[in-house]
Amino acid sequence: MSIIKADNVSIRYMTGDFKSIGLKEYVVRRIKGTYRVTEFWADRHVSFSLEKGDMLGIIGTNGAGKSTLLKAVSGIMLPTEGSMEINGNVAALLELGSGFDGDLTVKENTYLRGAMLGYTREFMDEMYDQIIAFAELEEFQERAFKQLSSGMKSRLAFSIACLVSPDILILDEVLSVGDGAFRKKSGDKMKEILANGVTGILVSHNMGQVRELCNKILWLDHGKQIAFTDEVTLHMDAYQEFLQTRKLPTCREDIEKLAEDYAERTAREQARRRQMEQNRIKAAIESGENETVLNAALDIIRKTNPDLLIENKIKISLNQNGKPMLSWEHMDGVAKYEIWRSRTGEIGSFGKIFEVPGTVNIYTNKQAVEGETYYYKVKAIYKNPKINCAFSSPVTITSK
């Protein structure tokens, strides 16, 4: 049995009708002949179903009908057409501060919110300390709710909704509020409660959050359902490309094309960022005589583009006579390579024993003594004198 099932749901707002303008204005407009009723369909023919433990991410631009649909799921609104079947108790965080009284304290509001969700005083007594601790509001328990920051209000609302163990949890942009540490904590908590079988619905413009938490996607555009699917990556890629192009897909092929374009675009952007980073690093190396600057640049290369460094290109082996043989990949712009050796491997103990031109990438130490252990480095000397030389990491080998 589905926990939530929406069948062809449509929700209509009407402006200018008797209810919205009142009796007096209605009579005046009737007499003047200007009485008009305007219909606006916030959602049109939306269908989806969720099982226990599902997390649905609802995506769409502003005005897509996301929040209106959540109100129908939470029971605040009834569908104008179609049906909405809900099996379980719902905890909904639709608007910041909704369900709270600004003049009451944090503690009083916690109990009030719990009562509105249908929980007993005894249950809230048991959960209260955990709720306040998770919301990180221990020092604000007697402060009026209206004096809290928006982040604090959101933390309290989220804490109450999660820790009272609902069957269905609905979040409308709530996880996007608060500092980075709390967003991570709330995300981890969401994963935990979903693993325990709670069914969730998340509306968020944070695409990374939707990708991470949701196993199903509902894509809305101006009230129209574009897709309901469990292919999260494909449709999130397509949606993010749609945000750039505003080309709305009308079929499966359009979605796949958008996703493909997104992958290509992000690959180009990543390549451009890498190139810019390499250019900055190269400039720092070429112009900087400061050893700290050079080391910082090399650290960045090691983390982001280690293939550029000779220290990751050297290989060691023994030739057929049991002598140490070093080899490495050619590097552009190198005039020559120097071979350095040490008996102890300690810093400052290495000495140059040989050099080869930049066209050679192998060295065999024929003078190595049998049974002795040696430590080797390869040093690249660049053709451009402004570029500092680069040592490989030391390697160890014992001659036979």
DSSP per-residue codes, 232-249: HHHHHHHHHHHHHH----
Contact 234, 256 (CB under 8 A): yes
Has residue 384 got a pLDDT over 70?
no
Q: What is the CATH number of domain 4-248?
A: 3.40.50.300
Average pLDDT over residues 368-380: 75
CATH superfamily to which 310-398 belongs: Immunoglobulins (2.60.40.10)
Asked which of 40-54, 159-173, 362-376 is least confident by mean pLDDT, the reply is 362-376
Question: Within 13 Å of residue 353, how many CA atoms lie on the same side as its CB?
Answer: 18
Has residue 64 got a pLDDT over 90?
yes
| pLDDT single digits (tens) 124-138 | 999 999 999 988 899
Q: Is pLDDT larger for residue 158 or for residue 61?
A: 61
| pLDDT single digits (tens) 178-229 | 666 777 777 788 778 878 888 999 998 889 889 988 999 999 999 999 999 9
Has residue 361 got a pLDDT over 60?
yes
Mean predicted lDDT score pLDDT of the chain: 81
| pLDDT single digits (tens) 257-303 | 999 999 999 999 988 887 787 677 666 655 655 555 656 665 666 56
Query: In the chain, where are the structural domains located?
Result: 4-248, 249-308, 310-398
pLDDT of residue 174: 64
Grade residue 58 by pLDDT with cuts at 50, 70 and 90. Answer: very high
What is the share, in percent, of the chain residues with pLDDT greater than 90? 34
Q: Is pLDDT larger for residue 365 or for residue 234?
A: 234
pLDDT of residue 98: 66
Say yes or no: do domains 4-248 and 310-398 share a fold: no
Question: Within 13 Å of residue 98, how many CA atoms lie on the same side as its CB?
Answer: 13
